[in-house]
Structure 1
Amino acid sequence: MKTIHRQGRRKASLEFVPRVRVAGRLLSLALAASFTFLVSGCMVGPDYHRPQVAVPTQWKELPGWTQAEPEAAEGPKGEWWTGFQDPLLDELEPLVAISNQTVRQSYANYQQALAEVRVARASLFPTLGVTGSATRERASPTVQSNRALIVNSGTLEASVSWELDFWGKVRRQIEEQSATAQASEATLANAQLSEQIALANAVIDLRVTDADIDLLTQTVASYQAALRVVSNQDSAGTIPPSDLITARTQLENAQASLIALGVARAQYEHAIAVLVGRNPEDMTIPHSARLPVLPAIPAGVPSTLLQRRPDIATAERQMASANASIGVAVAAYYPDISLSALDGFTQAPLSGLLHISNYVWSLGASATQTIFDGGARSAEVAAARASYDAAVANYRGTVLTAFQNVENDLSGLRILAQQSERLDAAVRDSTRGAEIALNEYEAGTVDYTTVSTAQATQLSTQQSALNVQQQRLLDAAALIGDLGGGWTGGLHDPRHPDRAVENSASSQAAAASAETAVAPNATAPANSTPSP
């Protein structure tokens, strides 16, 4: 009996080997054929082509501006904030990319988008699984036997399933998620730039407030000196009492305005702290009335704006994602084809589970095709096409808004430069007029109303000039932001991490023939151009 048993095992073993080889060859051939088809197969849905947009050849608001260096004509580069020559900006701007919470949120969103790309890519590969089970079962007694039958059984199987991407649905999903990830990357760049511009604005506002505090402090001292003159003449009985009341009221109003500036200064200081990711209580900025320098700003040509603004890159990548989603929707018209294979052991009773005679395998293919869905697939395709059309409109609108922003900034800087020249002359004249009025009052040739009017005109003119300086600096920061700051326009392709896709509209920019950069009218030193 032992000899017969050994021969049976040897025979079963010999039969087992060809079966395994046949199953393995069938599975290998199926996988190889499927992979070959996928590599050379088509992808349903439209391929992406960036829509054309109208690009002006030059800026409308450039007349009246001076020509900057030709090599700076491509726009701001690198650490653009150094052009303001403010040590506080130089210290805090790099912290925005590290500590600002809005930037950190956008970074987390970008990482999530990259993970979604990996999820989509995983659908290209087979799914492997292992199943093991053990069961102990008690059966009811039979007529022949009063004893209950207890049976132990078990299985140990490995399975493979693979949904073949014959029609390119998965590849379109990867394309869609990759474009979404690139849009998220551009959104991250835009968030960082926006927060950096917000920090520059807050620092400018803080510096102007400090300058206004110094101006009002000097004004209060001047009004106090004038009040002493009026008080002396009132004691001598040479003036009406109303002059003393007017001088005192004027001083008190100036003191109240000086106190009110403390509120604005505290708020700007708190805003700066939050922008660099700190608690307001942890930051105290010393008083400094030194205003930032108005930087030289290379505006470049309009065609390069499409390469430099991250919000345009976001809109363009969203458009590419919407285009790929059309292919995903169209793929629903085609059957889903999948392969499956199983290999393992099953046995009842459980003893001897891994015996060769208990070996089982299966190999199969399936195709599923929807015949009728009540128009759901056509509606999905229509929705995807409408989403793409909306993305195209959003892209073109973003481009138009970008051109509008730059033109607004250029016109504002040009007009404010002219206004600043007039106000500088007005400040000189009003200061001289206030001095003359006070001297004439002391000589008794005019009443104090003339003096108070001249002094009020002087203060108003000085504050107007300071406000124009503030607006010029804010417009300069806005222009830098609207030109894309120091962003280079390169986006990483999640499908090929070692490459970077240049998200530019160079094919649309061929009409631009001249590269022009602008700088404010001789108000900034030549060395104030931001370093590359």
Structure 2
Amino acid sequence: MKLRLHPIAVATSAIALSAIVLAGCAVGPDYRKPDVDMPVTWQLDAPWRQSTPSDTQAKGAWWERFGDTKLNALQEQALSGNQTLAFAAARLTQARATANSVSTGMYPQVSTGVRASRLRIAGNRPLTNYNSPNFATVQNDFALGLNASYEVDLFGRVQRNVEGARASAEQSAADLENTRLLLSADLATNYFNLRELDVELDVLSRSIELQRKALELATSRHDLGATSGLDVAQQQALLDTTLTQVDVLRKARSQYEHAIATLTGTPAPNFSLPPALAPMTPPAVPIGIPSDLLERRPDIASAERAMAASNAQIGVARAAFFPSVILAPSYGVDSRNIETLFNAPSVVWSLGVSLTQTLFDGGRISANVDFAKGGYEASVANYRRIVLTAMQEVEDGITGVSALDRAYAQAQAAIVSARRVLDIANSRYEGGVATYLDVITAQQSLLNSERQAAQLMGQRMLTSVFLIKALGGDWPDAKLAQK
């Protein structure tokens, strides 16, 4: 017996076969990451030396390198309670859900439907044949059907959509990592600013104690008639000026404290951070080579994934020039009696294909392609800008840490010299061979030197945080550079 195929079935099979043959022939450019001009090495200044990090470097709890348990606790609190981070995590969830939703376009959509109704057909309805009169009819209608729909992706529109959605999801993941890095760096910056003010306030406290003792001495000598009232007035003015600075520093400290509260997800009125004078020493940071930034920094990864998503949109826009083909087969049963619903005469089916081709749109599709190309070119420029900024930040951090290390060592030597000057000035004043102005000048010089050392210590910590952020986060211990 010769098998005869229905013409619709033949056409549907041919289209399905074409879809298989042409699978992967997506229009639009395939994505390739653009080249960027990366220098071979950094401009190193002593005491730096280059490390050799791998592309599997950790980017986790870098703040633990500073050895401050309170900072570690605040960072953990921020990672669990910060609302900006929670927002970024929610956006990642949305992006992944969107990618999963778009990916379903690669597969057939299958649905089923059940219908049960009792209806009356009018006897006065329009005739389709004047020789066959109409009659009013009341009857049941029971139906059970299975429908399918599948867009044959001959020109890669669906494929490019999926590529773009997946790249966007990966971009959101990189954005989340970048938000974590920025959050931890912002928290560490505020924390070390606050601790630097603790040290400055301690310096002022010790200076005030010293100045009050000097005021008592000047007052006693004035009461004995050994000096004029000018010495007392000068010392009192110096003490009042120092007390004023205490209130200014306390105001700045409270602002850093409030910022830390917000970053950790705590209402500012419910948060307090007691003063602490623990020594602050920045860790040695391995800097690697410039090309490592392309693998380490999440903001660069985010910009690169944005390029991939923009590139995919060019293919989506170009696919609109070509026809869209949709297969829509269906199969089911339909009967007026539920008892005969599954009998052979109740079977209904259809095989269908629809093809849609735009013939004239006034240049809309071309404009969309140009728009997509412009978006890709913008993403490339943004990617290169971020890479250049990253290299600038690392180079700034390298030179900054080196300069501050030298300045801090010199500031410690200046404190020793200032204390020696103050001791000499006090001895000369008590011996009557120097004016009290020399003592006040020496006191002010010592105060300035100690405050400068405290500020330089804070700047060293901040610059180390800045450099770690610029390099993209933490590093393996095996790759630690010796400073």
* TM-score when normalising by structure 2: 0.89
Q: Decide whether the 8 Å contact of 1:208 with 1:466 is kept in 2.
A: yes
**What is the aligned partner in structure 1 of residue 176 from structure 2?**
188
Q: How many Å separate the matches in 2 of 1:368 and 1:379?
A: 20
Count matched residues: 470
* Identity, % of aligned positions: 35
Deviates more, 1:102-111 or 1:238-247: 238-247
User: Does residue 1:460 correspond to 2:448, yes or no?
Assistant: yes
The residue correspondences of 1:247-396 to structure 2 (distance < 5 A) are: 247-347=235-335, 352-396=340-384
**What is the aligned partner in structure 2 of residue 118 from structure 1?**
100
Q: How many Å separate the matches in 2 of 1:222 and 1:310?
A: 51
**What is the aligned partner in structure 2 of residue 523 from structure 1?**
none
Q: How many Å separate the matches in 1 of 2:80 and 2:27?
A: 42
The structure 2 residue matched to 1:473, chosen from 441, 451, 461, is 461
Q: How many Å separate the matches in 2 of 1:478 and 1:307?
A: 18
Secondary structure of the 2:113 match is: strand
Deviation per CA, 1:304-332: give whole Å up to 9, x if none: 11111111111111011111111111100
1:37 partner amino acid:
V
1:194 partner amino acid:
L
**What is the aligned partner in structure 2 of residue 400 from structure 1?**
388
Secondary structure of the 2:413 match is: helix
The structure 1 residue matched to 2:208, chosen from 203, 220, 226, is 220
Q: Decide whether the 8 Å contact of 1:84 with 1:294 is kept in 2.
A: yes
The residue correspondences of 1:87-166 to structure 2 (distance < 5 A) are: 87-138=69-120, 150-166=138-154
Q: How many Å separate the matches in 2 of 1:22 and 1:466?
A: 89
Secondary structure of the 1:187 match is: helix
- The Cα of 1:455 is off from its aligned counterpart by 1.1
User: Does residue 1:37 correspond to 2:25, yes or no?
Assistant: no
Q: How many Å separate the matches in 2 of 1:127 and 1:72?
A: 45
Q: How many Å separate the matches in 2 of 1:517 and 1:455?
A: 42
Q: Decide whether the 8 Å contact of 2:297 with 2:471 is kept in 1.
A: yes
User: Does residue 1:58 correspond to 2:41, yes or no?
Assistant: yes
**What is the aligned partner in structure 2 of residue 49 from structure 1?**
32
Secondary structure of the 1:333 match is: coil
The structure 1 residue matched to 2:187, chosen from 165, 181, 199, is 199
- The Cα of 1:277 is off from its aligned counterpart by 2.5
CA distance 1:140–1:176, shift in 2 (3 Å): closer
CA distance 1:240–1:385, shift in 2 (3 Å): same
CA distance 1:448–1:72, shift in 2 (3 Å): farther
Q: Where does structure 1 lack aligned partners over 5 or more consecutive residues?
A: 1-17, 489-515, 521-532
Q: Decide whether the 8 Å contact of 1:72 with 1:298 is kept in 2.
A: no
Q: Where does structure 2 lack aligned partners over 5 or more consecutive residues?
A: 125-134
CA distance 1:235–1:362, shift in 2 (3 Å): same
2:75 partner amino acid:
E
Question: RMSD between aligned alpha carbons?
Answer: 3.0
Deviation per CA, 1:51-93: give whole Å up to 9, x if none: 1111111112x12224377679997764322221212123333
Q: How many Å separate the matches in 2 of 1:474 and 1:48?
A: 39
The residue correspondences of 1:481-492 to structure 2 (distance < 5 A) are: 481-486=469-474
Deviates more, 1:224-233 or 1:253-262: 253-262
Q: Decide whether the 8 Å contact of 1:322 with 1:384 is kept in 2.
A: yes
CA distance 1:475–1:301, shift in 2 (3 Å): same
1:51 partner amino acid:
P
**What is the aligned partner in structure 1 of residue 130 from structure 2?**
none
- The Cα of 1:151 is off from its aligned counterpart by 4.2
- The Cα of 1:255 is off from its aligned counterpart by 2.0
**What is the aligned partner in structure 1 of residue 129 from structure 2?**
none
Q: How many Å separate the matches in 1 of 2:475 and 2:154?
A: 40
